[in-house]
Structures are given as C-alpha cells and as structure tokens.
Chain A
Amino acid sequence: MANIRENRLVHLIGIGTMSIAFLIFYAFILIFVNINHWTEKQGKTLTMSIYFKEEPDAAVIENIKKELFLFPGVTVKQFVSKDDAMKSLRRKLGEKAGLLDGLKQNPLPASLEITLSRDKEGDSLPHRLKTRLEEITVVDEVHYTQEWIKRFQVIMEAIKIVGMIFGGLLFLAALFIITNTIKLTIYSRKEEIEILKLVGATNRFVKIPFMIEGSIQGLLGGAVALFILFLAYIIAITRIHISIGFASLNIVFLSPQIILFLLLMSVIIGFIASTISLGRFFRL
C-alpha cells in the first residue's frame, strides 16, 4: 500500500487504462447475458393468435375460453375485434393509413390472443391446442410463434458461439493491454527494483509487492469498469425501450454472482499480468 501511495499517478493511469479494457469486455458480457436471458424467456412462453371467420359474439368467445382452460398453462391475453384490428393497423401505418380508405369493407379478422407456458407439456401442447381449436366452426386459423422462435433460437445459438469466440479474443486483448500497462508501471520503478536486488533482496521479496499491486490495480480497474457500465445501463433503461414485434426486450444488469465473478477475474488478470511483466527484470 505504501508503494501505491508513493506512485499514485502511475497507478492511477494504470487503473484508468485497465478499467477501459475491462469496460469493453464487461459491456460485451452484459450484451451476451441479455441475449441469453431474452432467448430463454422467449422459449418459456408462447403467444398464439386465434383468427375467426366472422366477428364472434360474447357467448362464442366464452365457449372458446372454456375450451382453452381445459389445457394447462393457458392465459387469455385479449380479444381483438375487426374494428380494433383496423385501428391498430392504421396506427402502425401512420401517414400511409390513407391507403386503407379505399377499402369497401374491413378485411381484417377478429382474433383472440393467448399465451402458453411451455414448461408444462413441452412442444406437443401448442400443436394439440391448435388442432383442437381449428376444429371449431367459427375459427378460421390458428398461428403461434413457436416455429419462428425456433428459427430465431438457432440464430441466437450461433450468435452465442460467435460471441464466445469474440469474447475470448476480447479477453486476450484486455490481458495484453493490462500486461503492458503493468509493465510500464514496473518499468517506471526499474531503478528501485535494481537497488533492491543490489542489496540482496530475493526475487520473491521484490516480486510479491508488485504482484499484490497488480492484483489491487486489477480489482480497482474492474470495479471502476463495472461502475461505469452500471451508469450506462441506468441511462439505457431510462431512455430506451426496445420492442421486437409482440416480444419486448427488458435489459437486465449483471447478476451479483456474475459481478463477483468478474471482480475475482479482474484480480486474477491483474496478478497474471504483473507476473508476466516482472519476468524480464529477473534474468540475472
């Protein structure tokens, strides 16, 4: 600690550089965690839309709901009438809504939107439910998101693999930057190291304080990076709400376990980097 106090400026620069390297890596991990979180969430619930041939009356809707509640994990979200569907389309078209003015009648069907919790019966439930619903006379078609989600999940898995490779490369880059930062810190105290060796200090006596300093620098660099990332996260969630169709993306921050793991990793990186950097000073 005395050494850190005595060489404050050098250590501050070192911590600053390390925190930037860690920030890039941790930001990547945050994105990765959120992609993982989103795909897992989508996999757990499924949205199904039941389209009617004609606008159903309340009694028909009630009978269909009774049929639905025979299946486990079903939640009725909302009934969308033909008029509601047209209003929604006009809202989405915005300035181009005028294109719909020429329509003599409303071609959009009424629909009932439901969600299915997948952990009950797996993949067979949506298919069975679809088959049953399509037998009902008033029902025209039943669509659900599973096939689309499956394709999306395949893409997400591929993104995860690429992400892990990219993350690994980022980790190596961060390690390289940190090693060189610590090397500069050690080099600035080259004369001190030489004097210590001159008066008979063993390599271990000289190295251990630098390794401890490197670990502390790593920890502080990691902590600063996490703090900056958290600030950025707060700004992001207060200003951005991302929707992808009927699935909305809620950005989550890193869990306490991941934060602890990253802090531990930053200590280890600092330790490894200082060990590598010290090597060249101890050849004689």
Chain B
Amino acid sequence: MKQSSRCFSGDERSTLISIFFKMIKLFQVYKNFGSKNPALLDINLAVKKGEFVFITGPSGAGKTTLLKIIFCAERPTSGNALVDGRNLNRIKDRDLSLLRRRIGVVFQDFKLLPRRNVFENVALTLEIIGFPLSMIRKKVHQTLRYLSLTNKEGYYPPQLSGGEQQRVAIARAIVNNPLILLADEPTGNLDPDLTMEIMALLKEIHIRGTTVLVATHSKELLKDTTRRIVTLNKGRIV
C-alpha cells in the first residue's frame, strides 16, 4: 500500500525540536500601546524548561510588558508568543485560564486580597481549580510551612510586614507547582536582608524544577550571578 508521507527538512526538524523543548518562545514580538514609543520592539527570546533568567534594564525598558505578554495580561501587537507550546495569539479564554493556573506570578506590590487572610489568599488558586477542601488544606499548609508562614495563617495582609506579604505572594504563586514562575521586581519594596531572603527562595523554587524569570533593575541582584541575563533597553533586547 502506498502511503503518503511528508518528510521534514533538517531546518524544520531543528525548529520543531527547539520549539518543543522551549518553555517560552517569543518570535519577532512587538507591543505598541498606541503612543509614538512602542513598549517592545522585535523581541526574540527563548527560555528553556527549568531555566532561571534575569530580565533587566532601566525603568521603562519594557520588562513588565514582556512579563505581561508571557502571562497573557497583554497580547503582542505583532509577532508570536508561545508558552508551554500554546500560541498566545490564538488562545481561547477557557484555555487561557487553564494556562494561567500553571504560571505563578509575583509582583512588586504583592497583589494580595486585603480582605482575605493568608490561608485564603494562598488557597485562591486551588479553589479556582476546584480542589476538594481537604486537599486545599493539605497543600496550603505544606506551602506555608515551606515558606515559614504557618504562624501567620490567620493574619490579613495589612497585618504583615513587606517581607511576609511577599512570601505570601510567592506561596500563592507556587502552591499549585507551576511550570513557570514570573517575578516582576519581587524585591523592589524590600530592604537588602529581605531581598536576599526572597532571592534565596526563588532559587530554591528553581532547583525544584520550575522555570523562573525575574525582572529587576537592581544591579546588586545581578552582581556575581551565573544566571542568564537578558537586558532590555527602550523595548529592545540589547
């Protein structure tokens, strides 16, 4: 029996393989918010599974916009963005929600729900997924223990210090063992000691297999690091 088959060329095979093993792939991504100065220009970025990458640059360079495109808070004006093999230009709302559950995000301003206590903030992702209460309790307690927050379970965000709030934000981001953890200036509001504490936590999370991207303009964090650094300036990768 004659079978029709399509053989891929060498280049095509390489491209397919590289896409397959890349957790994040941005190809010729532009982002324009309507002003004369676009936020991102011709961004080509590939992040492997399990990699730890710093995104750095001065204020206004486009770091936050880049992260927003990765966790789908913004769509590229042009170009393609793939996360875990999904094309963000074509993703439907339902699939978008499912993808976001596998991406943990940590912000400079923590973004905790002020009227929910620590337990409830961390449990939020698991509630949305629909885990049973017993499972939620187990996972949240494990995560709080890992981040030394067990004794703060019943506290509300305004009752916590900056470092504690950031740990709660990290706890919420990792409670569901995400594939990717994005941190946008996670230590921007913290003193140097707390900064080192948070960075150590992020490194530990990375060691457990999570792909980590940290956006920061702090030269202190980048000093002596062996991690990959992607530098942005005026929307371009330098």
Residues of chain A having any CB pair with chain B under 8 Å: 6, 191-192, 194-203, 205, 282, 284
Within 8 Å CB of B125, what residues of A?
A: 199-200
The 10 closest A-B pairs by CB, nearest first: A200-B101, A200-B100, A202-B97, A199-B125, A6-B115, A201-B128, A200-B97, A195-B111, A199-B124, A200-B128
Within 8 Å CB of A201, what residues of B?
A: 97, 128
Q: Are B115 and A197 in contact (CB under 8 A)?
A: no
Within 8 Å CB of A197, what residues of B?
A: 97, 100
Given A202-B97, A205-B128, output 4 extra A-B contacts at Cβ < 8 Å: A191-B111, A196-B128, A197-B100, A198-B73
Q: Are B93 and A202 in contact (CB under 8 A)?
A: yes
Interface residue B105 (Cβ < 8 Å from any Cβ of A): yes
Within 8 Å CB of A195, what residues of B?
A: 111-113, 124
How far is B130's CA from A201's CA once the two chains are assembled, in angstroms? Answer: 10
How far is B238's CA from A89's CA once the two chains are assembled, in angstroms? Answer: 104
Interface residue B200 (Cβ < 8 Å from any Cβ of A): no
Interface residue B129 (Cβ < 8 Å from any Cβ of A): yes
Q: Are A200 and B98 in contact (CB under 8 A)?
A: yes
Query: Given A6-B115, A191-B111, does the pair A199, B172 have CB atoms closer than 8 Å?
Result: yes
Interface residue B75 (Cβ < 8 Å from any Cβ of A): yes
Which one of A191, A200, A205, A282 has the greatest number of beta carbons of chain B within 10 Å? A200
Residues of chain B having any CB pair with chain A under 8 Å: 71-75, 93-94, 97-102, 105, 111-113, 115, 124-125, 128-129, 172
Q: Give the A-B pair count, Cβ closer than 8 A.
A: 47
How far is B72's CA from A154's CA once the two chains are assembled, in angstroms? Answer: 64
How far is B98's CA from A197's CA once the two chains are assembled, in angstroms? Answer: 10
Q: Please give the distance in Å from B17's CB to the nearest CB on chain A.
A: 29
Q: Which residue of B lies closest to A282 (CB)?
A: B93
Within 8 Å CB of B99, what residues of A?
A: 200
Q: Which residue of B lies closest to A202 (CB)?
A: B97
Q: Are A199 and B101 in contact (CB under 8 A)?
A: yes
Query: Given A199-B125, A200-B98, A202-B94, does the pair A284, B113 have CB atoms closer than 8 Å?
Result: no
How far is B157's CA from A191's CA once the two chains are assembled, in angstroms? Answer: 15
How far is B205's CA from A83's CA once the two chains are assembled, in angstroms? Answer: 107
How far is B116's CA from A6's CA once the two chains are assembled, in angstroms? Answer: 10
Sample 18 A-B pairs with CB under 8 A, ordered by A number: A192-B113, A197-B100, A198-B71, A198-B100, A199-B100, A199-B124, A199-B172, A200-B97, A200-B98, A200-B101, A200-B102, A200-B125, A201-B128, A202-B93, A203-B97, A205-B97, A284-B72, A284-B74
Q: Which residue of A lies closest to B103 (CB)?
A: A200
Q: Which residue of A lies closest to B109 (CB)?
A: A191
Q: Please give the distance in Å from A93's CB to the nearest CB on chain B.
A: 72
Q: Which residue of A lies closest to B121 (CB)?
A: A195
How far is B172's CA from A200's CA once the two chains are assembled, in angstroms? Answer: 12
Within 8 Å CB of A6, what residues of B?
A: 115
How far is B73's CA from A201's CA once the two chains are assembled, in angstroms? Answer: 13
Within 8 Å CB of B74, what residues of A?
A: 284
Within 8 Å CB of A191, what residues of B?
A: 111
Q: Please give the distance in Å from A211's CB to the nearest CB on chain B.
A: 17
Q: Please give the distance in Å from B73's CB to the nearest CB on chain A.
A: 7
How far is B100's CA from A4's CA once the two chains are assembled, in angstroms? Answer: 27
Q: Are A199 and B113 in contact (CB under 8 A)?
A: no
How far is B100's CA from A24's CA once the two chains are assembled, in angstroms? Answer: 46
Q: Please give the distance in Å from A193's CB to the nearest CB on chain B.
A: 11
Q: Which residue of B lies closest to A2 (CB)?
A: B115
Q: Please give the distance in Å from A58's CB to the nearest CB on chain B.
A: 86
Within 8 Å CB of B100, what residues of A?
A: 197-200
Within 8 Å CB of B102, what residues of A?
A: 200
Within 8 Å CB of B124, what residues of A?
A: 195-196, 199
How far is B68's CA from A284's CA once the two chains are assembled, in angstroms? Answer: 12
Q: Are B73 and A284 in contact (CB under 8 A)?
A: yes
Q: Please give the distance in Å from A210's CB to the nearest CB on chain B.
A: 15
Q: Are B115 and A199 in contact (CB under 8 A)?
A: no
Q: Are B105 and A198 in contact (CB under 8 A)?
A: yes
Q: Please give the distance in Å from A60's CB to the nearest CB on chain B.
A: 87
Within 8 Å CB of A199, what residues of B?
A: 100-101, 124-125, 128, 172
How far is B100's CA from A284's CA once the two chains are assembled, in angstroms? Answer: 12
Within 8 Å CB of B93, what residues of A?
A: 202-203, 282
Within 8 Å CB of A205, what residues of B?
A: 97, 128
How far is B169's CA from A198's CA once the two chains are assembled, in angstroms? Answer: 12
How far is B100's CA from A6's CA once the two chains are assembled, in angstroms? Answer: 27
Q: Which residue of B lies closest to A5 (CB)?
A: B115
